[in-house]
Amino acid sequence: MRKTILCLFLLLSIITPSVCFCANDKEAIFNATWKGDISLVKAILKKGIGINVRNNIQATMLMFASFNGHIDLVKELISRGADVNLKDKFGSTALMFAAHKGHEKVLTLLLEKGAKINDQDNSRSTALSLAAANNHISSVKLLLAKGAKVGDIEYKGNREIVELLMQTRLKDFK
């Protein structure tokens, strides 16, 4: 019996190598999203899984795609109605996920689609503070240009980022 099951599994994996043999569609779609496999994501979505489905930490596919910089997948998910402002159980948004990794194209798209630039997560981090903490200078500049507030960010890293934040803070007080 075990040999039969193993042979069947091997045969299926050879015939359909793009299929992820996961416990369920939800797990499969998150794996496909993480990898940026747009065709597999589309195939699983056709089965009726919700565009804003959440995993065990309440993260969405849009958050996964944003974190990994899969811009085409981010576009696809948004075009199908993904909510750009949902938060995971830590209060993080797709914008924060993209900022953490410095994915400027994703940041720009999310902002164009209505992402809230100054939202805070449960530890009071913002997209701006995450971009700054991870030394993504271009992302910091982009977020500041789009209206991110410096607020109470205490950052002691990259000199250029510190200067940008200080200049912006001074402008905010005037």
Report the amino acid identity of residue 48.
G
Longest dimension (CA), the chain: 77
Domain spans of the chain, in order of start: 22-173
What's domain 22-173's superfamily in CATH? Ankyrin repeat-containing domain (1.25.40.20)
Question: Do 60 and 53 meet the contact criterion of CB atoms below 8 Å apart?
Answer: yes
The CA-based angle 6-7-13, given to 5 degrees, is 90
**pLDDT for 37 beyond 60:** yes
Q: How far apart are CA 51 and CA 56, in angstroms?
A: 16
Tokens of 78: 């948004």
Per-residue pLDDT at 154: 58
Per-residue pLDDT at 132: 87
49-53, 102-106, 159-163: segment of lowest average pLDDT: 159-163
Mean pLDDT, residues 167-174 taken together = 56
For 128-155, what is each residue's pLDDT tens digit?
Answer: 989 988 989 899 999 999 998 887 565 5
**pLDDT for 113 beyond 80:** yes
**pLDDT for 10 beyond 60:** no
Q: How far apart are CA 122 and CA 142, in angstroms?
A: 23
For 17-29, what is each residue's pLDDT tens digit?
Answer: 344 444 589 999 9
The reported pTM is 0.79
For 47-67, what is each residue's pLDDT tens digit?
Answer: 999 999 999 999 999 999 999
Mean pLDDT, residues 111-138 taken together = 93
Per-residue pLDDT at 165: 66
Question: Do 114 and 121 meet the contact criterion of CB atoms below 8 Å apart?
Answer: no
Tokens of 121: 């997560």
Tokens of 80: 């199908």
16-25, 41-50, 100-109, 112-121: segment of lowest average pLDDT: 16-25
b/e per residue, 62-93, with b = 16+ CB within 10 A? bbbbbbbbbbebbbbbbeeebbbebbbeeebb
Q: How far apart are CA 135 and CA 100, in angstroms?
A: 9
Contacts with 103 (C-beta within 8 Å, 6 or more apart), sequence order: 66, 67, 69, 71, 139
CA 146 from chain centre, in angstroms, equals 19
